[in-house]
A and B are shown apart, each in its own frame.
Chain A
Amino acid sequence: MENLNETILAVVLDVVQEKSPEIEAVRPDQMLVEDLGLRSLDLARIIAKLEMKLDVDPFAELVAVTSIRTSGDLSAAYAKCFSTDEEPAPEAANRPRPPRAGLASQRELRQKARGEQSQ
């Protein structure tokens, strides 16, 4: 599991550093959007990179991608692919949930669409 977490953090850092080279490390509890400045396309790139490395896509069926707010959420999602236990991991289930970045980015898209329509 530690290797999985490290792999995920390394991929997240890789994408984060393309935009913010000054960031030297990322933590599992940091918000991908609010803290690390990622956008939905960046998350899509992270997931594509992880699918190439891990050969699984938890967002095809197991997990809603809109539930992903942190690197820790990503770890919990990928852990489900490698687990035979159908219950969610306790730490993922019990952790207090911060505001949903996935929904925020969808809200951004809706606002943008409304703005363009009103022009």
Chain B
Amino acid sequence: MKTKKESMTAERQVAIVSGGSRGLGRAIVADLLRRDMIVATFSRSKTPFIEQRLAADPQAESFHWASIDGADPQALAGFARDVLRRYGRIDALVNNMAVTGDGLLTMIRDADIHAQVSINLESAIFLTRACLKGMLPQGSGSIVNISSVNALRGHAGVSIYSATKAALIGLTKSLAVEVGPAGIRINCVAPGYFDSDMTSGFTDDQRARIARRTPLRRLGTVEDIANLIWFLLSPEAEFITAQVIAVDGGFVG
């Protein structure tokens, strides 16, 4: 009889990554493809990265993309169903999609608050539920929610973003208990400051200040984060669930 680890590696694993067209999501998609996973992602519109991946794999043997509104629960459920029909399974989900909105709470527009709660939290909940409908019959699956060090340490100007990212930790911990008996693991990755679109506007002084406050004396890279995500999704982490792991060079201590 095959062990769980053997059966999980017997066929190509299928991962869904939300928000995989740019930034960290793009890096996660590229990393999982490099590790021979089948990867499905979505965004409103194609980016050059998506166009390149689609051109390289016209039969969608390893990469599937769809244009959907990530804030639409029906569209998210439909996307997950489509992936199940195409590939017959969903082994992994990375809830990466997020929007930011800087500003003091009293000065943020209502629409920006709703957008952050909707995309960062509600969409993760709806997509997780849709993917669990594939994972529960399999009796296996691994979910990684991308939280943030802002959920672990307060910073002025990001209260709504922090609230949504902290909520993902609560979702992770309760859902891990809920579906653990069905062989499904859920963990959180909390990135610190890393080189990305979100930090591209930082001045050299700001970057130097962050590096000085980081015990490992540098900003992170998307590879630092993608490596941990791969580990958590892989059978090597088959006894790890309900955890929050910061990838921040020791920034939050």
B181 engages A52 (CB within 8 Å): no
Q: B208 an interface residue at 8 Å Cβ cutoff?
A: no
B132 engages A41 (CB within 8 Å): no
Min CB–CB distance B174 → chain A (angstroms): 11
- Residues of B contacting A48 with CB < 8 Å? 132-134, 136-137
- Residues of B contacting A41 with CB < 8 Å? 178-179, 181-182
Q: Which residues of chain A from 41 to 96 have any CB-CB distance to chain B below 8 Å in the complex?
A: 41, 44-45, 48-49, 51-52
Residues 117-142 of B, flagged 1 when their CB comes within 8 A of A and 0 if not, give 00000000000000011101101000
Task: For the complex, give the distance between the alpha carbons of A52 and B83 in Å.
Answer: 12
For the A-B complex, the count of residue pairs with Cβ-Cβ distances under 8 Å equals 23
Q: B84 an interface residue at 8 Å Cβ cutoff?
A: yes
Min CB–CB distance A47 → chain B (angstroms): 8
Mostly helix, strand, loop or mixed at chain A's interface?
A: helix
Interface bracket on A: under 10
Min CB–CB distance B127 → chain A (angstroms): 15
Q: Besides the contacts A45-B136, A45-B182, A48-B133, what 7 more A-B pairs have beta carbons closer than 8 Å? A: A41-B178, A41-B181, A41-B182, A44-B132, A45-B137, A48-B132, A48-B134
A52 engages B133 (CB within 8 Å): yes
Residues 178-198 of B, flagged 1 when their CB comes within 8 A of A and 0 if not, give 110110000000000000000
Residues 96-113 of A, flagged 1 when their CB comes within 8 A of B and 0 if not, give 000000000000000000
